[in-house]
Amino acid sequence: MADSDIQTAVTRALEDAPDRNFTETVDLAINLRDLDLNEPSNRVDESVVLPSGTGQETKIVVIAEGETAVRAEEVADEVLSESDVADLDDDEAKDLADETQFFIAEEAMMQDIARYLGTVLGPRGKMPDPLGPDDDVVETVNRLKNTVQIRSRDRRTFHTRVGAEDMDAEDISDNIDVILRRLHADLEKGPQNIDSVFVKTTMGPSVEVA
């Protein structure tokens, strides 16, 4: 159960959101302090599984062959073979990277994928999650559908998706709670490294989480 302050802020953000003809994303903005983000080890770079899901579609591409590729067809948005990847030109690779939230690839292909797509996926923080011989591709895809990447790079302020406006405030609050607990555990000084946290819908005003 999320902190009541989180739920109060989420409820207000949802109530203050202007009416739109589309379902807005609910985003969390986190401001860090007292961290040297020029030092890579101090940067936030985490995959977090949201207990209530993201509330929106998450595009997942699997790069695999054989039986793994066949099973991936059931759950992934797109399945590519190694030769498919090799045939992508620069523009196609960039478009694919920008449209896709997560890539998964068989471990044996990772070296070749780095050669073909490393310059495109690397800077975007989207190098594939490696899939080992004993890993279940269906289970991995389903987990990533409810996953968000929280990444600060060298910036003090960063954002992540925590839900959609048609979700219950309690469910969104639970997602935020999980993210904040992860940050508190991972940051050098825990909560003291967080200056402020705001929640908002895509077009709505920001509401500070007390």
Closest CA to 16 of 201, 209, 176: 201
The region that residue 53 occupies, defined by phi over 0 for left and psi between -120 and 50 for alpha, beta otherwise, is left
- The pLDDT, as a whole number, for residue 22 is 86
CA angle 43, 49, 51 (to 5 degrees): 135
pLDDT in tens, the chain (210 residues): 467 899 999 999 999 988 888 889 999 999 999 999 999 999 999 999 999 999 988 999 999 999 999 999 999 999 999 999 999 999 999 999 999 999 999 999 999 999 999 999 999 989 999 999 999 999 999 999 999 999 999 999 999 999 999 999 999 999 999 999 999 999 999 999 999 999 999 999 999 997
C-alpha distances in Å from residue 124, one per residue of 2, 118, 189: 31, 10, 27
DSSP state at residue 58:
-
User: What's the rounded Cα separation, in Å, for the pair 176 and 54?
Assistant: 11
CB 31 within 8 A of CB 156: yes
| Beta-ladder partners of 201 | 26
Q: CA 125, CA 148: separation in Å to the nearest integer?
A: 12
Element (H, E) at 85: helix 82-86
Structural domains of the chain, ranges and CATH numbers in brackets: 4-55+146-208 (3.30.190.20), 60-145 (3.40.50.790)
Written as six digits, the tokens of 55 are: 């509330």
Beta bridge partners of 147: 49
pTM, rounded to two decimals? 0.83
